[in-house]
Structure 1
Amino acid sequence: MTFLNAQWRNLALINYEIDPQLLKKYLPAGTEIDFWNGKCYVSVVGFMFEETKILGIKFPFHINFEEVNLRFYVKHFENGEWKRGVVFIKEIVPKKAITFIANSLYKEHYETCKMRHKIIEKENTTLFNYQWKVDGKWNTIQLETFKESQEIEVNSEAEFITEHYFGYTKYNDNTTFEYEVKHPRWKQLEVKNFMLKVDFKRNYGSDFEILQNTKPLSVLLAKGSKTKVENKKTKRYENATKPNLTL
């Protein structure tokens, strides 16, 4: 049975270039950094979980909620082909039960914070706002987009960011959890402007403090869709090789 069914909606993705050496200790065994045009990316992502079911069950008060995460992009070679996936540095949600389940079963890095969001429809644009509170201070992601949706072009940066269909979690130096994420190809809304107010060191630690004064390479708004997250698979590497951090 599928572990999670949900609608992932209105994904705000703020994308940065980062030194891949900073990600070395987070890289799961059996994976490599997935570069795009020679660049190593990390993304801050805010979005909505809607109509959420765990093992086919809707749990009261845990059906619709926000998530904000910091992630980077990897690939894993298996059966003659590359699987493209993401690794999460941290995932923030407003529900303690979600944090407990994800951290216990999937060994993810969830944290529970007070969160809120709003969507404001204007005449020609839409405003998407996600906020979460850490140490008494609100962090904010805000995008204003035009209303007409667009296809995500093949071989584009937007395709690279949105078309990763596996999640990988580092359990230890020799064990990796893999789970498949299934959804149709997404559409995007053109971003008119954005605002980001995030304390990167407080949220993600000193490794990512450098992003505080780094200009994003791009900002995207993906409309999202129905999404399935399958049960995890455990992969063990008794002689895990040194991770490849270069093209």
Structure 2
Amino acid sequence: MATTFLTAEWRNLIFANYALDQAVLKPLLPYGTELDELDGVYYGSLVGFYFQNVKLFGRLSVPFHRQFEEFNLRFYVRRKSPTGWKRGVVFVKELVPKLAISLVANTLYGEPYETHPMRHRWDIQEKTQEIDYEWKVGSDWNHIRVSADRVGHTLIPESAEAFITEHYWGYTRRGTERTSEYEVVHPPWNIFPVTTFDVRCDVATLYGTTFAPFFEHSPVSVFLADGSAVAIKSGAAID
């Protein structure tokens, strides 16, 4: 039986989704996985959100590490298992403002975390909401921000938003022929239409120059999800 090693709430998730080239992503594929696509498009998503009520093993709270921002770049994969296809995500890099989280994630789990100064702003009004996440790269503040309606809708099956948010497995490359697999458990999220957005991200510095050209254009889509409680469960080693 899988062990739940982290529980938390993920709140106000901004997804800015870009079309990427297979050639950029294939060298980053963990062993045993293949790229997943929607209507022939291989997506990479810039995602900003907020962690709340973080607990290890469902009960242990670490002082000063219960809530914090995260910003990441991820892409989408799948793996054929004995029970069928598992659809998951691979993180190119994850930014958080807490050094201890980066150290634990990098050392114990091989996750590509970096520590950066970060901040956020939520302005929730009766009919609109403005969600803003910022992170510092060198001396410059980057950001991802949206204005969105306060009235959302439930996730539509087979939609682009469902494809982006319903990859419930995570895969981490641990060597040329070894991969860590874990499960992320959460209910479907409500989606809020975005009226305006702005993304400023130093992609070349954070992720490399091969990624930069794909983020010079507007994203294919941007949406806001409300989030929920989540549980991250230990999975298997694939080798």
Shorter-chain TM-score: which interval? over 0.9
**Deviation per CA, 1:22-77, whole angstroms, max 9, x where unpaired?**
11110011101000011100000000000001223111110010000000000000
**Which residue, out of 18, 21, 44, partners 2:20?**
18
Report the count of equivalent residues. 236
- Distance in 1, Cα, partners of 2:233 & 2:100: 19
1:217 and 2:206 correspond: no
The one-letter code of the counterpart of 1:22 is V
1:40 and 2:42 correspond: yes
- Distance in 2, Cα, partners of 1:208 & 1:112: 20
1:197 and 2:200 correspond: yes
Once the two structures are TM-superposed, the CA of residue 199 in structure 1 deviates from its matched residue by 1.1
Q: Which consecutive unaligned segments of at least 5 residues does structure 2 have?
A: none
Once the two structures are TM-superposed, the CA of residue 213 in structure 1 deviates from its matched residue by 1.2
| Identity, % of aligned positions | 44
**Which residue, out of 104, 114, 118, partners 1:101?**
104
Q: Secondary structure at the match of 2:107?
A: helix
Once the two structures are TM-superposed, the CA of residue 104 in structure 1 deviates from its matched residue by 1.2
- Distance in 1, Cα, partners of 2:98 & 2:117: 9
Any conservation in 2 of the 1:16–1:42 contact (CA below 8 Å)? yes
Match of 1:52 in 2: 54
Counterparts of 1:105-124 in structure 2, within 5 Å, are 105-124=108-127
**Deviation per CA, 1:127-171, whole angstroms, max 9, x where unpaired?**
000000011110000010000121111110000000010000111
Any conservation in 2 of the 1:106–1:232 contact (CA below 8 Å)? no
Q: Which consecutive unaligned segments of at least 5 residues does structure 1 have?
A: 237-247
Q: Secondary structure at the match of 1:201?
A: helix
Q: Secondary structure at the match of 1:17?
A: strand
The one-letter code of the counterpart of 1:7 is E
- Distance in 2, Cα, partners of 1:129 & 1:11: 10
Alignment root-mean-square deviation, CA: 1.0
Match of 1:72 in 2: 75
The one-letter code of the counterpart of 2:16 is I
Match of 1:171 in 2: 174
TM-score (norm 1): 0.93
**Which residue, out of 158, 161, 166, partners 1:158?**
161
Match of 1:241 in 2: none
TM-score (norm 2): 0.96
